[in-house]
Amino acid sequence: MGPPLAPAAASGAAPDLSAAVLREVGQPLTHEALTMAPLGPDEVACTVIAAGLCRTDVAVADGAMIRRIPLVLGHECVVQPMTAGVGGERFVITPYPVAKYTSIGRDSALRYRAQIPVGSGLRGTDGSIVHQFAQIGAFATKVVVDRRRLIPLAASVPDEIAAVIGCAVTTGVDAVLDTAEVAPDDEVVVVGCGGVGLSAIMGARWRGGRVTAIDTNADKEAAALEAGAMAFIHANAGGAPAILDALPVLPTVVVEAAGSTAAIVTAIGIAAPGARVILVGSPPDDGHVSIPAPAIVGNELRVLGHANLRSNPQRSVARVIDGYRSGGLPLDRLVSASFPLTRINEAFAEVRAGRVRKSVIIPDR
């Protein structure tokens, strides 16, 4: 799998972690030995226990989203700090900043986010910088992160579930609870049944909404129903008109979680007058949509993007864990595969083929 491990650093420093590195878009990740740069005052080195694989990671690897390379992908994980005095055994890392956030207020979140330094804590064997996706880079045996991003984790949450809380679950749940504000009388349609979509289904059911799931992949039906959807529609070439024929009731909330421009057009095309249309899937960097303006104006649609920018990650993670423990969020139905780090390219292939719900990467021990 990938090229053989590179020799030790020319400087003589021992490589102290191994990682899957994106060196070239469209090519397999390569397994490399990296070194950590000296830790900054707010940085903590952590052992990765498990990391979730998000569709966004695949989008970057495939070039649909452009990021600086070389790059260690992976932006949600559960970790154990290697530094003493952090105050806990296991922590969730989310792609979003955490501490001090609550004291500076909701609307300051974007400014605070901008203050988190861009990750440059990894070096290749030639001393050059290897970037960390979302300043995390979780597809590695270790990560170095800003300590303010560590969210303590209760012992009762299994590693594989904790690994996917940081991005997929909190994103899907926050989108339906905070941005859509789903209520028990809502008819909810979730377009796209990947990790975020399945989490959105669970969140909408938890809040008492009636949920119909839609995906272009008919194989997603079982996962959608197990997550709490009451019906599943296989989207085909007929687009919104065909889906409207299959829907018994027009949705008051549509959550687009597929991350494609076609799904956005579909989501807006099936919404009931006055509906909230939440766009939460990560679209390609060059994605543009063309929507008939009267469809939005005449139907008084509220089209809202959701990317967790205004979420409080500590609160979001705590809420999801409460939902899991109470049985409201059946997160154990979400993770369907785990791969060792050495087989990460197989894990990416499974996501591209649509054969997994949510995969977890377990670093080699």
Give the interface with Zn ion as residue ranges (CB under 5 A). 54, 56, 167
In the complex with Zn ion, the residue whose CB is nearer, 54 or 271, is 54
- State how far the Cα of 358 lies from the Cα of 7, in Å rounded to an integer: 34
d(CA 24, CA 47): 26
229-241 b/e with 16+ CB inside 10 Å = b? Answer: bebbbebeeeebe
Minimum distance from residue 248 beta carbon to Zn ion (Å): 32
Task: Output the smallest distance, CB 37 to Zn ion, in A.
Answer: 25
Cis peptide before 70 (omega within 30 of 0): yes
Looking from the CA of 216 toward its CB, the CA atoms found within 13 Å total 15
CB of 228 to Zn ion, least distance (A): 21
Cβ closest to Zn ion, residue 56 vs residue 345: 56
The number of angstroms, rounded, from the C-alpha of 320 to the middle of its chain's C-alpha atoms is 14
Residue 298 phi, psi (nearest 5): -65, -30
Q: Work out how close the CB of 259 gets to Zn ion at its nearest, in angstroms, rounded to a whole number.
A: 10
CB closer to Zn ion out of 194 and 323: 194
Question: In whole angstroms, what is the distance from residue 117 CA to residue 146 CA?
Answer: 8
Residue 90 buriedness (CB in 10 A; 0-12 / 13-18 / 19+)? buried
Nearer to Zn ion, 75 or 205 (CB): 75
Rounded least distance, CB 190 to Zn ion, Å: 17
251/259 with CB nearer Zn ion: 259
Does residue 100 come out as left (phi exceeding 0), alpha (psi in the -120 to 50 range) or beta?
left
- In angstroms, give the least distance from the CB of 325 to Zn ion: 23
Shorter beta-carbon distance to Zn ion: residue 56 or 179: 56
